[in-house]
Structures are given as structure tokens and as C-alpha cells.
Amino acid sequence: MPNILYAGQTYTCEGQSVLDCLTAQGISIPSSCRAGSCQTCLMCAVSGTLPELSQRGLKPTLVVQHYFKACSCYPETDLEVQLPNTALGKFDAQVVSLDALNDEIIGVRLRPISPFPYQAGQFINLYQNDSTARCYSLASVPSIDDTLHLHVRRVPNGVVSNWIADQLKVGDTVAISAASGDCFYVAGQAAPNMLLIGTGSGLAPLYGIVRDALQQGHQGDISLYHGSTQVSGLYLVEALRNLAQAHPNFHYTPCVSDETPPADYRHGMVLDVVLKDLPDLKGYRVFLCGNPNMVKAAQQEAFFAGASLRDIFADPF
């Protein structure tokens, strides 16, 4: 069985991931999704051979420095590992504002202390402390906004979201990771139509992507559908309607499934409404964010409706 050497101690890894092996020993390793998506559990291999899966999706600059995702690393040989240097990939940011967007979601604005490159729709990790972090998508657009915008849903018993809601204050300094993810707008000559579907705080990256595309002069139709069980679960409704009035190629549709909404909302599950309106998605670029079950179902339905797999971008959370 392979051994894991960490902080001068050796641990036997019995069919476990590096993350599970170390946390089972009571070692605090930052983690969040445990599915290889958020990169919160990023570690560095000092020696040994890393499985290909553990580095899949990482930037080439991280791969050549032997960084890997601990939750996806099932070692086949002995490994010596360490946490990244605390200064590597982390940035300090000041809390600029905390505003309620609806009863569950808080809008958090952060101003990085140093230059912070990102794409609208990517995500960052927000650290409560060295061993506790959660990933949040960026609703801001670099060419429009001078701060980073997060939409944080308060989760019952959620460690980080309740810390943000109850303890974080304007003026506080927090640590964030570099931006990651490939769910963002890329301008192209073809200028295809775009479909964006989100639920809950899944609106955050979509709001950034829409504004980024419009800012860059996207010519194709851009259709955004945002779903919730109740009207109170939606937010930024007026801002999105104003955006649609200002841009004829942008169409916004709020959807409510569990109550009869006002006349200017659509009734039904958001995916059902989309498929009724847009049964043919050939040539569309599709962005899906929010509830994992919705995202998974929408990936399949978008493909069956004609969208190419390479043009379907998903960010479930």
C-alpha cells in the first residue's frame, strides 16, 4: 500500500484519496466540494508520481509545479505532500459591502488589495480560516466593476455562509483564492445564440457572463432563465429587466414552480419552460449553474436538443 508523508509523519493510504487519508488522521486540509471541481483542497507533491486524474483541469503552470487535487488523488506509489505556501494562490481582499439580495442570499463585494485577474463567471474560494473555505462564483465583470461580487446563499448550519451573514463586517480583510473555472464568455466571430439557465444563487455567474457578453458586443440572442420555487427566491429581477430593455438581443425570463406567480413571470420548472420556448438548441452556447440535479438534467436535455457537448458549460452547486 502506498504511504503518504506529510509534515514529517507517514500514513498508510488504504484505497483512500490523499484528502480522506489525512483528514482521517485528524489533519485539517482545506476542502469544499470533494468532487474535484473547486480546487479548495489543492496540495503539492514533493516527491512521487501523481495520478493523471488528480491534476485534470488544473492550469499548466500548476501542473508543472506538481500541484494536485487531494480529493481526486488516489496514489499508486508513495507520495510526500504538503499544503501550498500560504502566499501562493491567495489574495487579501477587503469587504466593501454586505447587502441582502433576498431572504436567503447576501451580496458580498470585495476589493482585492493587489491586482486580481479573473473572468466573469469563474469562482473563487473564500477562506474563513486556513482550514475552512467555500467556493463562490463571481457575478462581477472586470471591465465594468471595480470590486468582486459574490452571491452567498445562507445554508442552514453552513459554517462559512453563517459566518459571512453573522460575523463578517464591512472593512474586514479576508483571504481568497485565485479565480478558477471555465464557465465564462469567450468572444468569437460566429457569435452564436446563448442560453443561460440558473436556479437560486446560480444566477451569480450567469449575471456576470451576460453583462460581459453584452459589454463585448455579442450579436447573437442571449436568453437567461432563472428559476425558483417561489417569487421570493428570485432576485435582481428589475436589474435584469432593465438590462433587457437596454439590449434588444437579451431576453430575461424569471420562472416560479411552486406557486402561481404574477403575470410577468412564467409558471413551471425552469428547465420545462426553456424546452417549451427553445426546443432546438443547435448552434447554441449553453451555460448551466445552480442545483446539481437541474444542471445534470439540463446538460442531457440541451444535448438532446442539438447543442454540442463542447458548447455546454456547467457549474453545479
Whether 242 and 296 map to the same domain: the answer is: yes
Last residue of a domain, one of 116, 146, 177: 177
Q: The domain containing residue 54 runs over which residues? A: 3-82
pLDDT-derived band at 170 (thresholds 50, 70, 90) equals: very high
Whether 94 and 78 map to the same domain: the answer is: no
Q: E strands, the chain, where?
A: 3-6, 9-12, 42-47, 67-69, 79-82, 90-100, 105-112, 123-129, 132-137, 148-153, 173-177, 194-199, 222-228, 250-256, 266-267, 285-290, 312-316
Whether 40 and 72 map to the same domain: the answer is: yes
pLDDT exceeds 70 at position 215 = yes
Which pLDDT value is given to residue 89?
67
In a domain, 185, yes or no: no
What is the three-class DSSP state of 200? helix
In a domain, 275, yes or no: yes
Whether 115 and 66 map to the same domain: the answer is: no
User: pLDDT tens-digit profile of 248-260?
Assistant: 999 999 999 999 9
Whether 207 and 271 map to the same domain: the answer is: yes
Which pLDDT value is given to residue 60?
61
What does the DSSP 8-state code read for residue 187?
-
Number of CB atoms found within 10 A of residue 133's CB: 24
127: domain CATH number is 2.40.30.10
Q: Give the separation between CA 111 and CA 300, rounded to whole angstroms.
A: 38
Give the type of residue at 144.
I
In a domain, 55, yes or no: yes
Which pLDDT value is given to residue 87?
43
In a domain, 27, yes or no: yes
Whether 125 and 230 map to the same domain: the answer is: no
Q: Share the mean pLDDT of the chain.
A: 93
Whether 73 and 31 map to the same domain: the answer is: yes
55 phi and psi angles, rounded to 5 deg = -115, 0
User: pLDDT tens-digit profile of 98-127?
Assistant: 999 999 999 999 999 999 989 899 899 999
Whether 147 and 226 map to the same domain: the answer is: no
Counting residues of the chain whose pLDDT is more than 70, the rounded percentage is 97
User: pLDDT tens-digit profile of 13-50?
Assistant: 989 999 999 999 999 998 888 888 888 899 999 999 99
Whether 284 and 201 map to the same domain: the answer is: yes
Residue appearing with cell numbers 483512500: 16
Q: Give the separation between CA 19 and CA 123, rounded to whole angstroms.
A: 21
pLDDT exceeds 60 at position 86 = no
In a domain, 75, yes or no: yes
Flag the least confident range among 48-62, 79-93, 132-146, 184-198.
79-93
What is the pTM assigned to this prediction?
A: 0.77
Counting residues of the chain whose pLDDT is more than 90, the rounded percentage is 80
Last residue of a domain, one of 142, 177, 212: 177
Q: Give the separation between CA 204 and CA 200, rounded to whole angstroms.
A: 9
Q: Give the separation between CA 185 and CA 208, rounded to whole angstroms.
A: 9
Whether 58 and 23 map to the same domain: the answer is: yes
Q: Give the separation between CA 159 and CA 263, rounded to whole angstroms.
A: 38
User: pLDDT tens-digit profile of 126-155?
Assistant: 999 988 999 999 999 999 999 999 999 999
DSSP letters, 254-303, are EEESSS---TTSEES-HHHHHHHH----TT-EEEEEE-HHHHHHHHHHHH
- Which phi-psi region, left, alpha or beta, contains residue 157 (left: φ > 0; alpha: ψ -120 to 50)? left
The candidate with the shortest Cα–Cα distance to 141, out of 87, 185, 80, 200, is 185
35: domain CATH number is 3.10.20.30
In a domain, 182, yes or no: no
In a domain, 187, yes or no: no
Give the type of residue at 125.
N
- For helices 237-246 and 203-215, what crossing angle results, to 10°? 20
Q: Determine contact, residues 95/168, Cβ cutoff 8 Å.
A: yes
User: How much is the average pLDDT of 189-218?
Assistant: 94
Whether 125 and 229 map to the same domain: the answer is: no
Whether 201 and 296 map to the same domain: the answer is: yes
290: domain CATH number is 3.40.50.80
Burial level of 229, CB count in 10 A (0-12/13-18/19+)?
Answer: middle
In a domain, 186, yes or no: no
Q: Rounded to 10 degrees, what is the CA torsion of 112, 115, 116, 117?
A: 160
Which pLDDT value is given to residue 85?
58
User: How much is the average pLDDT of 216-243?
Assistant: 97
User: How much is the average pLDDT of 291-308?
Assistant: 96
pLDDT-derived band at 61 (thresholds 50, 70, 90) equals: low
Last residue of a domain, one of 27, 47, 82: 82
Q: Domain tally for the chain?
A: 3
